[in-house]
Structure 1
Amino acid sequence: MFKTLRNDIPASIIVFFVALPLCLGIAQVSEADPFTGLIAGIVGGIVVGSLSGSSLGVSGPAAGLAAIVLGAIKVLGYEQFLVAVVLAGIIQLILGFLKAGVIGYYFPSSVIKGMLTGIGIIIILKEIPHFFGYDKDPEGDWGFIQMDGENTFTEIITSINHISPGATLIGIIGLAILIFWNMVLTKKSKVFQLIQGPFVVVVIGILYYILFKDHSLLTLESEHLVNVPVPDGIDSFLGQFTFPDFTALGNTEVYVVAFTMAIVASLETLLSVEATDKIDPEKRVTPTNRELLAQGAGNIVSGLIGGLPVTQVIVRSSANIQSNAKSKLSTIIHGVLLLLSVLLIPRLLNMIPNAVLAAILFIVGYKLAKPAMFVKMWKSGKKQFIPFIITVILIVFKDLLWGIGFGLAAGVLIVLYKSYKNSHFLHKKESADHHHFTMTLAEEVTFFNKGAILRELESIPEDSNLELDVSKTKYLDYDIVEVLEEFSDKAKARNIQVKLISERGVIENPESYLSFFDMVSSSSH
């Protein structure tokens, strides 16, 4: 793992700059102390990063949990809320031991790609106000309808009416440097691959703030800068930690919140794992059950020392991949950098312009939501494009869980429709005189194919002969047996002669299919 340090150290610095404002912003949206978001980021990097089997995934506080966290803190108070975070971690450990990580594999590729694209669009839209120096809302306020009643687009319009010349100028400079760095300099020399563009842009942003600090037009106010808590000393630093009130274990509401957070955090983690593995250049596969165990341990630690709940998050993970990280050392180092920064250089961090960080996130968002992806999904056909575009639209205009949920539902409906309409499991041959039919069932026939089989059987005319070939069938759902039983009764009334062809011989006009069902079931085992 240490052979990859020359890639992982520069990548960890970029992830650190991406994670820092997100940790603070998500804490602010959750109406928690900003330091609680930093705790979650540190735990997500060091604890979860060390225990996880994911090579490139990065964990920390997630915007997807902000609404749940906000409501829970208001109902329980922060100390009792921390008990729920610890219990959520224990539930995730149980899910990991029960091997529930397999759930992540049941989400279609089109939905995962839609999630990545939707998040990329959100990143760009949400960072536009910060780019222009309108920093009223933090980075964590990522729902379409925001906590203050504004939405994504009204926020952008408002920001245009409150443009800060200084923030906009350094934002444009930073974005130009990043584009030039990626498109030109990295191809000229390996030095520019080792020294990452975002790091250079952050340094230039700090220098800009110092140089124009007293310039009336181009100065950056405190609201345009990162805002990290600055402790007076070690006692002040330790005083920022909060500990859970375990007397709340008698409160049933704590268990409801814990279960809700555990399920949502686990789902968001598993989807992020699936998405991260898809964009991993080396196509490594993360052990999902181990990931649930790592997340559970992380949430237990975070809850015990006063942090917000953690999940694996695609924004930080994709920034890690785009920065050419090679191993999970990048994730761990980014957590160490968060810890060292709040201990040693909080005042220096508070000189970083938000507009510079917005420029960095613009690049991250664009790489996730390239226009070429829309073209590719369109060319893949409606079966891929419909769940994809539904996921994208709802993530942008509602939130992550709505987008994923409805995208998955669309994918399932398409599968059901295709199972009803097409002949993947059903092949029918018709004779020239239209009175002799051969219907062949595939190896596995489930209730998904019930509609298609019913349609085909009902279309057979009276006074016909039907050969039902099940010689290749290894599994037959009981629902299909009931369909055949019902058709047997109708066949007599319509004078349809049925011949059942199986690997054990031919049955003329079978009275019952139950014995056949037993035969198929036993052969499949």
Structure 2
Amino acid sequence: MLLLKVPIARFVWHDVFASAVVFLVALPLSMGIAIASGVPMEKAASVGLVTAIIGGLVVGPLSGSPLQVSGPAAGLTVMVVDFIQKYGFETLGIIVMIGGLVQIVAGLFRLGPVFRAVSPALIQGMLAGIGVLIFASQFHVMVDDIPPGTGKEFGGILNLWLIPAAVFKGVTEPAHRPAAVIGLLTIAILSLWAALAPKALRLVPAALLGVVAATAATSSFDLDVRYVPVPERLLDAARAPRLADLDALRDIGVWLAGLSLAFVASAESLLTATAADSLQRHAVRTGYNRELIAQGTGNILCGLLNVLPVTGVIVRTSANVMAGARTRLSSFLHGAWILLFVLLLPQLLSMIPVAALAAILVYTGAKLVKVDFAKDLWRQDRIETLVFGVTFAGVVGFDLLTGILLGVGVSLARLVYTFSHLAIRVEKNDTSRFVHMFLDGAATFIRLPRFAGALEEIPPGYDAHIHLGRLTYIDHACLTMLIDWGKNFEAAGGRLHLDRDILHRLFEEQASPSANAT
């Protein structure tokens, strides 16, 4: 029995330590993400922290990815801002519940692995666009200003365009200068800690250090900045939708918002779970359908409490794995620590300057734009780079859903092109009476007339070699046509050479024309 207790105790210690690290990462990020999501300022701290608590206490034990940590995510901020502006904060809970219900249904129908088929270029383009929008909006908040694009058409572009004006305010106007100093201090700590932190101390979250330093600076120098407003009882901000709120279900736009939320949140969660699998070897691999059901359950509860949607978060998940977590206990405990903090020490939250949280999100937004990924993609696949660019431009220029749909449209167009493109090159030597035909691409019924026409141009009595080495696919219509043409060609005195082994590979040992094979 002693031999069994020792490793269990060791695992528990690993999980307790990791949960403390994740708690320190999640605390400032949860509040900052709520502010960036357009939640009313007086409710932002409560809403963000309640979502994090649900991500730990509810999603953690149910999760199909034992080491994944869930909570409010920067990747959903742009979408939530749009929902709140269009339908009001009171309707957010309805949208989140619809999203959660869709996730559970998708999990029950075992659609989890389908979300993994989303193009990485589309996901990275989406995240890069979200990163730019977060950076642009929170840059203004970092100088204690209101983002000028809030509630306006092309607001993201307007926020980006007026960043120089925010810099000017932060440098010249006394009302904005203290917040700008706090924001720069926070960003400097985040950047320097990431680059220069000793290996033994890298588990200490940079975001926590930035918030602590910013809070200490504002208190020591009595700076005139905005602070995080905290209600007397943090959990009072969470409430169930009222009967009047259910009228929103008559609006088809609300249902579409829930569907789009389910898609984006599911894709982000399952991609994060996949990343968690690649980072560790201790826990079992992800059960994708179970993960969808867990996320859906969490989002239904978040909707009932009218807080932010929950999803798997890569920053917290990677911190959890790097801190040595072994089981799902770590995720659960991080939610417990946040709950205890909210219940016992809420007054500390009111000492945090809003500029510090905005600075963390400015830094986070910049990190979401992975320039190296785009460069590598350009070298490897220009069409996928187009998917990345179109998605990015759509998210920044229009909205998140439009960007995703544009990216999906380009991906589908590429798929149609791949399955309809067939290059045919013919080399004919009249002296030797030999014809080489090279096929490159997919031979489908769409290209059957052209394929048939090229075959019929081969003179009778010649030797013909049809090269299939670069053929990626041949459907039944083209195969039948090739077989019939081959029989007629040989009956007229010609000799047909086919790469029989390639046909076998393409059609799993289907019969090829009765012709000589080379």
Q: TM-score range by the shorter chain?
A: 0.7 to 0.9
Specify the alignment match of 1:243 in structure 2: 240
Within 1, Cα distance between the matches of 2:208 and 2:350? 15
Question: What residue number does 1:67 align with?
Answer: 82
Per-residue CA distance 1:5-46 (angstroms, 9 max, x = gap): 434422331122111121244252799887445433332332
Cα distance change of structure 1 residues 403 and 333 upon mapping to structure 2, 3 Å threshold:
farther
Structure 2 length as normaliser, TM-score?
Answer: 0.74
Alpha-carbon distance in 1 for matches of 2:130, 2:472: 43
**Match status 1:432 vs 2:419:** no
State, as a whole percentage, how many aligned pairs show the same letter.
24
Q: In the alignment, which of 194, 204, 217 is matched to residue 195 of structure 1?
A: 204
Unaligned runs of 5+ in 2: 1-10, 171-175, 502-506, 513-518
1:269 aligns with 2:269: no
3-state secondary structure, aligned to 1:48: helix
Name the counterpart of 1:365. 365
Distance 2:190 2:471 in 1: 59
For the Cα contact (< 8 Å) 1:56–1:331, is it kept in 2? yes
Aligned to 1:225: 227
Question: 2:198 aligns to what SS in structure 1?
Answer: helix
State the SS of the aligned residue for 2:197.
Answer: helix
Instruction: Report 1:62-101 matches (<5 A).
Output: 62-63=76-77, 64-68=79-83, 70-73=85-88, 78=91, 82=93, 85-86=96-97, 88-101=99-112
1:113-512 aligned within 5 A: 113-131=124-142, 133-137=143-147, 145-146=154-155, 151-163=158-170, 164-187=176-199, 190=200, 192-213=201-222, 219-221=223-225, 224-231=226-233, 240-245=237-242, 253-254=249-250, 256=252, 259-277=255-273, 279-280=275-276, 282=279, 286-304=286-304, 306-308=305-307, 310-312=309-311, 316-318=313-315, 320-321=317-318, 324-327=322-325, 331-421=331-421, 430=427, 432-433=429-430, 436-437=434-435, 449-451=444-446, 454-460=449-455, 461=457, 463-464=459-460, 477-478=475-476, 480=478
Matched, 1:40 2:63: no
- Cα–Cα, structure 1 residues 406 and 151, in superposed 2: closer, same or farther, change >3 Å? same
1:238 & 1:11 partners in 2: Cα distance? 21
Residue 20 of structure 1 contacts residue 38 of structure 1 at CA under 8 Å; is this kept in 2?
Answer: yes
Deviation at 1:293, TM superposition (A): 0.4
Separation (CA, whole Å) in 1 of partners of 2:133 and 2:411: 23
Change (3 A) 1:498 1:351: farther
Q: Contact 2:467–2:499 (CA<8 Å) still a contact in 1?
A: yes
Asked if the contact 1:439–1:467 (Cα under 8 Å) also holds between the matched residues in 2, the reply is yes
User: Judging changes above 3 Å, is the alpha-carbon distance between structure 1 residues 480 and 73 closer, same or farther for their aligned structure 2 residues?
Assistant: farther
Tell me, what secondary structure is at the counterpart of 1:151? helix
Alpha-carbon distance change, 268 to 98 in structure 1, aligned in 2, over 3 angstroms: same
Change (3 A) 1:263 1:340: same
Read off the aligned partner of 1:136 and give its amino acid letter. I
**Residues 380, 420 of structure 1: alpha-carbon distance in 2 compared, 3 angstrom cutoff:** same
- Quote the residue 2:70 is aligned against: 58
**8 Å CA contact 1:166, 1:220 repeated in 2:** yes
CA 1:179–1:156 in structure 2 vs 1: closer, same or farther (change >3 Å)? same
Q: CA deviation at 1:169?
A: 1.6
Contact 1:31 1:70 in 2 (8 A): no
Q: Distance in 2 between matches of 1:176 and 1:517?
A: 60
Residues 55-107 of structure 1, C-alpha deviations (whole Å, 9 max, x = no match):
33523373224433554458xx65xx756654543333222110122321221
Tell me the TM-score normalized by structure 1: 0.73
Work out the CA distance in 1 between the residues paired with 2:140 and 2:354. 10
Could you report, residue by residue, the CA deviation over 1:164-222 in whole angstroms, capped at 9, with x for unpaired residues? 221122222222222222222324xx1x2243332222112221222222xxxxx233x
1:47 offset after TM fit, Å?
A: 1.3
Report the CA distance shift for 1:422/1:502 in structure 2 as closer, same or farther (over 3 A). closer
Equivalent pair of 2:64/2:289 in contact (CA under 8 Å): no
* 3-state SS, counterpart of residue 28 of structure 1: coil
SS at match of 1:106: coil
* Deviates most, 451-460 or 26-35: 26-35
2:399 maps to a residue whose letter is D
- Change in 2 beyond 3 A, CA 1:302/1:517: closer
Whether contact under 8 Å (2:43, 2:237) holds in the other structure is no
Q: CA separation of 1:365/1:319 partners in 2, compared to 1, >3 Å: closer, same or farther?
A: farther
1:91 & 1:472 partners in 2: Cα distance?
42
Q: State the match for 1:18 in structure 2.
A: 29
The answer for the alignment partner of 1:234 in structure 2 is: none
- 8 Å Cα contact 1:476-1:517 kept in structure 2: no
Counterpart CA distance in 1 for 2:141 and 2:47 is 22
Higher mean C-alpha displacement, 281-290 vs 463-472? 463-472
SS in 2 for 1:350: helix
Residue identity matched to 1:243: A
- What CA deviation, in whole Å up to 9, does each residue of 1:267-319 have, x standing for no partner? 11232135425654617864321222012211222233x22352426xx4235
Structure 1 residues 476 and 372, CA, compared in 2 at 3 Å: closer, same or farther?
closer
Query: Do the aligned partners of residues 171 and 519 (structure 1) sit closer, same or farther apart at CA in structure 2, a change above 3 Å counting?
Result: closer
> Structure 1 residues 458, 26: closer, same or farther in 2, change over 3 A?
same
Which consecutive residues of structure 1, in runs of 5 or more, have no partner in the other structure? Answer: 214-218, 232-236, 505-515
1:103 paired with 2:107, answer no
Q: Deviations over 1:301-343 (max 9, x none)?
A: 2233x22352426xx4235426845545554444334433433
1:395 maps to amino acid: V
Distance in structure 2 (CA, Å) of the matches to 1:480 and 1:65: 49
**Alpha-carbon distance in 2 for matches of 1:463, 1:150:** 62
Tell me the SS of whatever aligns to 1:459: helix
